[in-house]
């Protein structure tokens, strides 16, 4: 077998897979995207619960949920729905930085074995800092066949391509 990439000094010349480099000027308000779907298994739900120390009976106790719970089956932890739902739409843009999340709402329960997918919509953008603007996107997580289960808005700072263009619009402190 011949190694097609034998020279490590040339590896940086090859673009990184799945890396994005869009800038503030490239962000289009109104643009939408949909993720692939993902079924949430019992094993990964239990692993998530163990990692974050969430042992609430609704996510960890089959007997409790069947005999005393409102839903008669175990829930997927809301933090996991948030994490996986947003992870389905995660980008690897080297020019953006998370500023925070607003309006996070858990609208409907998600159960072990449910399949989820996410819709992202570009909501707005505005100049904010000398070197970066602020963009806002919404994430809507649905469980199959299309029931909305989670909503949030993600704020991100993103570098300008041409910072000088935006200086008269930068927010004053």
**36 domain-assigned:** yes
What's the rounded Cα separation, in Å, for the pair 146 and 54? 27
Domain count, the chain: 1
119 vs 132: CA distance, rounded Å = 25
Which tokens in the block code for residue 88? 């389905």
Residue 102 has pLDDT above 90, yes or no: yes
* pLDDT averaged over every residue in the chain: 96
% the chain with pLDDT above 70:
99
pLDDT 10s digits, 46-98: 999 999 999 999 999 999 999 999 999 999 999 999 999 999 999 899 999 99
pLDDT in tens, 21-33: 999 999 999 999 9
Is 95 domain-assigned? yes
The reported pLDDT for the residue numbered 172 is 80
Could you tell me if residue 13 is inside a domain?
no
Helical (H) or strand (E) element with 46: helix 42-52
Query: Does residue 12 fall inside a structural domain?
Result: no
CATH number at residue 25: 3.10.129.10
**What span, in angstroms and rounded, lies between the C-alpha atoms of 39 and 120?**
19
Whether pLDDT at 143 is above 80:
yes
Residue 173 has pLDDT above 80, yes or no: no
Query: Which of 153, 157, 28 is CA-nearest to residue 98?
Result: 157
Q: CB of 152 within 8 A of CB of 82?
A: yes
User: Is residue 61 a part of any domain in this protein?
Assistant: yes
Give residue 171's pLDDT. 87
Q: Output the six-digit token pair for 3.
A: 């190694």
Contact call for residues 60 and 138 (beta carbons, < 8 A): no
User: How far apart, in Å, are the Cα atoms of 168 and each of 81, 132, 136?
Assistant: 40, 13, 21
Q: Is residue 155 part of a domain?
A: yes
Question: For residue 48, is it within any domain?
Answer: yes
Tokens at 79, concatenated: 């933090």
CB 135 within 8 A of CB 70: no
User: What span, in angstroms and rounded, lies between the C-alpha atoms of 18 and 13?
Assistant: 15
The percent of residues above 90 in pLDDT, for the chain, comes to: 94
Helix/strand/coil for 103: strand
pTM here?
Answer: 0.91
Phi, psi of 80, deg, nearest 5: -75, -40
Residue ranges making up the domain that contains 84: 20-169
Asked, for residue 3, whether it belongs to a domain, the answer is no
Q: Is the per-residue pLDDT at 135 higher than 90?
A: yes
C-alpha span between 117 and 144 (Å, rounded): 8
């Amino acid at each position: 077998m011949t190694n097609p990439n034998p020279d490590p000094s040339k590896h940086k010349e090859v673009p990184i897979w799945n890396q994005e480099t869009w800038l503030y000027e490239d962000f289009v308000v109104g643009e939408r995207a949909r993720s692939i779907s993902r079924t949430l298994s019992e094993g990964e739900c239990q692993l998530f619960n163990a990692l974050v120390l969430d042992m609430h009976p609704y996510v960890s106790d089959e007997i409790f949920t069947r005999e005393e719970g409102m839903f008669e089956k175990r829930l997927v932890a809301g933090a996991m729905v948030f994490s996986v739902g947003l992870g389905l739409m995660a980008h690897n843009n080297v020019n953006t930085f998370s500023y925070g999340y607003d309006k996070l709402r858990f609208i409907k329960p998600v159960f072990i074995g449910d399949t989820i997918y996410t819709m992202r919509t570009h909501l707005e953008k505005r100049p904010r800092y000398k070197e970066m603007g602020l963009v806002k996107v919404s994430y809507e997580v649905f469980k199959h066949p299309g029931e909305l289960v989670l909503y949030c808005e993600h704020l991100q700072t993103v570098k300008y391509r041409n910072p000088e263009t935006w200086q008269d619009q930068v927010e004053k402190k």
